[in-house]
Amino acid sequence: MPYIYIQPIKTDYAPWIEGLEKSVYTVFGYHTKVANLDINLEKTFDQTRHQYNSSQILLQIISRPPADAVKVLGVVNVDLFIPILTFVFGEAQLRGIGSVIALHRLNNKFYGLSEDRELLKERLVKEAIHELGHNFGLVHCNNQSCVMKSSTYVEEVDQKSADMCSRCRELLRELL
């Protein structure tokens, strides 16, 4: 039986794993397992930008996925970038096996606000569903409340829901 694997990377997953597993199952119908891949995070650190290269992390995640993995989602708590952009919340291969998301900029602390654990969990779930959606072949959606709407600000993450709009859900059903 195939699973969606969640790979926490140098981050304590106890506070959010249960909620994430539930949401992933509800949306995609796959049960989840926590992966234990050997990921070298330090190797992806960029000295000049003081950020971690998300594409390089993604490469490590997909290089040796578990045999029963349908998808593998990495979760880090560092600031991610891709060379052309100043930062990214996460990265996913379209119709691929792997994706990675970062808690760093989803955390209120990053914006100088007091920590809000519930909000952080909510944002994490949205970003996880979003990137996994890309893995299953969905592209960005124009529906303001759809989880597949692209968000470049954390406020935009808050504006959308954790659910897919009916159109994306329909597409996903065809893609699954």
Instruction: Please tell me whether residue 143 binds Zn ion under the rule CB under 5 A.
Output: yes
Span from 44-52, 60-68, 152-160, 167-175 in contact with Zn ion (CB under 5 A): 167-175
Q: Of other proteins, Zn ion, none, which one does residue 117 interact with (CB within 5 to 8 Å by kind)?
A: none
Q: In which element (H, E) is residue 109 found?
A: none
Tell whether residue 165 is a contact of Zn ion (CB under 5 A).
yes
Question: By CB neighbour count within 10 A (0-12 exposed, 13-18 middle, 19+ buried), where does 23 fall?
Answer: buried
Assess whether 131 carries a catalytic annotation: yes
Are 153 and 127 contacting, i.e. CB atoms less than 8 angstroms apart?
no
Rg (CA), the chain: 15
Question: Between β-strands 90-92 and 98-102, what pairing exists: parallel, antiparallel or unpaired?
Answer: antiparallel
Number of alpha carbons in the 13 Å side-chain half-sphere of residue 111 = 12
**Among 11, 13, 55, 143, which residue interacts with other proteins (rule: CB under 8 A)?**
55
Q: Is 81 in the site for other proteins (CB under 8 A)?
A: yes
**Near other proteins by CB under 8 A, which window of 8-16, 28-36, 72-80, 92-100?**
92-100
Encoded tokens for 118: 């519930």
- Placement of tokens 């699954």 in the chain: 176
Q: Which of residues 136-165 bind other proteins (CB under 8 A)?
A: 139-140, 150, 152-153, 159
The footprint of other proteins (CB under 8 A) covers: 49, 55, 81-88, 91-94, 134, 139-140, 150, 152-153, 159
Q: Which residues are catalytic?
A: 131
